[in-house]
Chain A
Amino acid sequence: MRRFFWFIVASAIVLALQAAAAGASGWEVRVPGIADSAVVLGGGIAVASGDSVSLFREGSLEWAWKAEDRVREVAAGTDGSVFAAFGSSLAKLSAEGKPLWVSDTYELAYSVHVLEDGMILVGYEYGLLAFEPVRGKLLWEHYAHEECDT
């Protein structure tokens, strides 16, 4: 996993340099095995691949963060932060890629959605979880089966 992480970092740096040389109208970076991506407030795009989250801005790797498990989902926060779902956890990363908190999602997370007021919704194995954005406190759980007679 660690080797894979550094492979991503090295590949991104080399290809970003190539892209920068190609001109200002656009750029391209190669990142093997992209699982999800999200445009970040303030510019740049966060990319989940393997057990890493990488932030690219103007063709350059701004930062990379390594999780303890495969990152399945990323979402942009309302303050330039990035949320990453990995294993049975949800992490909030600062605009600089520093982990601010990690909360338990009980089981695998399949989707992450951030509302305008900052609340984070996580679609996990058995329904939906809501977290507040400052400390990652669980606000409520939603289980469709209680009302879903499908």
Chain B
Amino acid sequence: MPGPVRSYFTLDDRRIAIIGEVYDLSGLRENGQDYVNVVDLRRGTTDEQFEVIKPFDIFDAVTLGPELMVVSVKYSGLVRWNTRDMYGFDWRVKGDPVEYLLAGGKDSILAVYFQRDRISLISPSDGRISAEARLSAPATGKPAWDGTHYYIPAEGKVMILDADLRASSEITVPGLIGEARVHLAGKGVYLVDMDSVHYLQR
């Protein structure tokens, strides 16, 4: 039975990639979603479905252009897809499973592994790791990139790293507890957990 669409990745003004769930399958899995479709925004029809990453168990994805999508999949690892050819892929790199993917600086992709205290920069051209770092504390949510720095939420603080993953600073945020999300807004950053909203000036 088809399930809900959970994530959206803009490709161009006519197409969007979506990640969704299929109930019969997702019930069998601990994590992830079950398909990647490219939808035609004019009619709501499927342009392509990414078939290469079967069996599906998708953790996250990132787009760096209309024909450049990198998907993190449980069994396949990181896979780059051109969003056009349902059976084609540009590269595939197996390694530790990646929970979060984020378009970052220097044309790189930030990968946060499931341990959440290890991150790396992935080159979109070949999938190789160009830099790695250990965080001072496990991330408690998906990071954000403001054009010069990464903002990574952690228990009671936000860690700020430069484009090469060097620690730039940390800001203590008392009361930031558990899973958190980061929103960048103008000169500020919002950190939101289950019971509080924190605003910091950048």
Interface residues of A (CB under 8 A from B): 24-34, 37-39, 43, 45, 47, 56, 59, 108-111, 113, 115-117, 119, 121, 123-128, 130, 139-148, 150
* Chain B residues closer than 8 Å to A110, beta-carbon distance: 4-6
Q: B136 at the A/B interface (Cβ < 8 Å)?
A: no
* Chain B residues closer than 8 Å to A127, beta-carbon distance: 2, 4-5, 20
In the bound complex, what is the Cα–Cα distance between A59 and B188 (angstroms)?
13
Chain B, residues 89-122, CB within 8 Å of chain A (1/0): the string is 0000000000000000000000000000000000
CB pair A148 B192 closer than 8 Å: no
Q: Which single residue of chain A is at the shortest CB-CB distance from B194? A: A34
In the bound complex, what is the Cα–Cα distance between A38 and B1 (angstroms)?
30
CB distance from A109 to the nearest CB of B (A): 8
B-side interface size class: 35 or more
CB pair B195 A144 closer than 8 Å: no
B32-62 contacts to A, CB under 8 A, are 34-35, 37, 39, 41, 43-46, 49, 54, 56
CB-contact partner of A140 in B16, B35, B44, B194, under 8 A: B44
CB-contact partner of B41 in A25, A28, A30, A115, under 8 A: A115
In the bound complex, what is the Cα–Cα distance between A121 and B18 (angstroms)?
10
Nearest first, the 8 A-B pairs at minimum CB distance are A123-B5, A140-B44, A110-B4, A145-B2, A113-B8, A142-B44, A123-B4, A147-B46
* Chain B residues closer than 8 Å to A43, beta-carbon distance: 185-186
CB-contact partner of B195 in A34, A111, A125, under 8 A: A34
Q: B175 at the A/B interface (Cβ < 8 Å)?
A: yes
CB distance from A133 to the nearest CB of B (A): 14
Q: List 12 A-B contacts (CB under 8 A).
A: A26-B199, A28-B196, A29-B197, A33-B195, A34-B193, A34-B197, A39-B184, A47-B192, A127-B4, A128-B20, A142-B37, A142-B39
CB pair B175 A28 closer than 8 Å: yes
| Secondary structure dominating the interface of B | strand
In the bound complex, what is the Cα–Cα distance between A24 and B49 (angstroms)?
49
CB distance from B191 to the nearest CB of A (A): 9
Q: Could you list 11 further interchain pairs (A-B, Cβ under 8 angstroms) beyond the known A37-B183, A111-B5? A: A28-B197, A31-B196, A34-B192, A37-B181, A121-B8, A124-B5, A126-B2, A127-B5, A128-B18, A128-B39, A145-B1
CB distance from B194 to the nearest CB of A (A): 6
In the bound complex, what is the Cα–Cα distance between A124 and B44 (angstroms)?
14
CB-contact partner of A121 in B13, B16, B194, B199, under 8 A: B16
In the bound complex, what is the Cα–Cα distance between A27 and B189 (angstroms)?
11
Q: Which single residue of chain B is at the shortest CB-CB distance from A29? A: B197
